[in-house]
């Protein structure tokens, strides 16, 4: 059982989730790292956290299912009685024209992107209340505010995550703060960049980096003690473009 600050980061096996988990470890958090399929990548995340002298637990689960949510909750309860930070980062990004969206595609986007955040927050509430100054941070998206015609279920799910953030902020105050980060175009080093995501379309003329999101998460978790119910766009200015 951990006596340090503890964070659960979902979808932390690789990509942005790994950077968030490692950034939290760098700042003194022990981590419960959730992943679904990326086992080797999750083990690398764990190695990097241990390199920072923090404790880490890996938990594999499909957050599209209630059984998967229960698995994650059980792993957290086994590790700690106090949860200081829940980062709902797990997400899927289905691509399909409107006419091609099936009930399975739609349900999967909703279940992973917003339902899992709802029920993880609900079922981990006792542990969050046990910790003083705890918070929930949802990783939303610029897609919550923009219309991407081949990603409508994603848009809907991320808009729902924004509303969940606002609703939980009021519901859980004053004990637990709830905020969100809305990333724009974030390029993970080593991954290809789609041609349509040109920096020329971004007011700040550059893509975002994982460290930009890590800094936002740390700000909301550590410094923004009088902030709740808000969405912090980390997008280079694209959300305001109509």
Active site residues: 154
Who's near 132: CB < 8 A, 6+ residues apart? none
**How far is the C-alpha of 52 from the C-alpha of 141, rounded, in Å?**
29
Who's near 102: CB < 8 A, 6+ residues apart? 96
The answer to whether the CB of 113 falls within 8 A of the CB of 151 is no
> Any bridge partners for residue 234, and if so which?
183
At 85, list the tokens.
């930070």
> Any bridge partners for residue 186, and if so which?
208
Q: In what order do the strands lie in the sheet with 85-88?
A: 56-60, 29-35, 5-9, 85-88, 135-139, 177-183, 231-234
DSSP 76: H
What does residue 104 show for φ and ψ, rounded to 5 degrees?
-65, -45
**How far is the C-alpha of 71 from the C-alpha of 16, rounded, in Å?**
22
**How far is the C-alpha of 15 from the C-alpha of 26, rounded, in Å?**
17
Of 10, 12, 23, give the one whose Cα is nearest residue 213. 23
């Amino acid at each position: 059982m951990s006596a340090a600050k503890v964070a659960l980061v979902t979808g932390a096996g690789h990509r942005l989730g790994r950077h968030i988990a490692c950034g939290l470890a760098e700042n003194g958090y022990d981590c419960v790292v959730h992943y679904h399929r990326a086992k080797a990548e999750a083990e690398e995340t764990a190695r990097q956290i241990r390199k920072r002298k923090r404790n880490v637990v890996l938990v594999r689960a499909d957050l599209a299912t209630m059984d998967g949510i229960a698995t994650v909750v059980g792993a957290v309860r086994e590790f700690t009685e106090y949860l200081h930070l829940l980062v709902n980062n797990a997400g899927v990004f289905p691509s399909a024209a409107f006419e091609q969206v099936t009930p399975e595609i739609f349900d999967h986007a909703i279940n992973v992107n917003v339902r899992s955040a709802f029920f993880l927050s609900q079922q981990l509430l006792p542990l969050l209340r046990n910790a003083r100054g705890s918070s929930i941070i949802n990783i939303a998206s610029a897609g919550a505010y923009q219309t991407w015609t081949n990603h409508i279920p994603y848009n809907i799910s991320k808009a729902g995550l924004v509303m969940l953030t606002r609703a939980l902020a009021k519901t859980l105050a004053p004990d637990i703060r709830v905020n969100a980060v809305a990333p724009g175009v974030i390029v993970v080093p080593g991954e290809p960049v789609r041609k349509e995501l040109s920096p020329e379309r971004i007011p700040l003329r550059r893509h975002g980096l994982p460290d930009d999101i890590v800094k936002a998460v740390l700000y909301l978790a550590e410094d923004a003690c009088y902030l709740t119910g808000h969405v912090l766009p980390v997008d280079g200015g694209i959300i305001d473009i109509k």
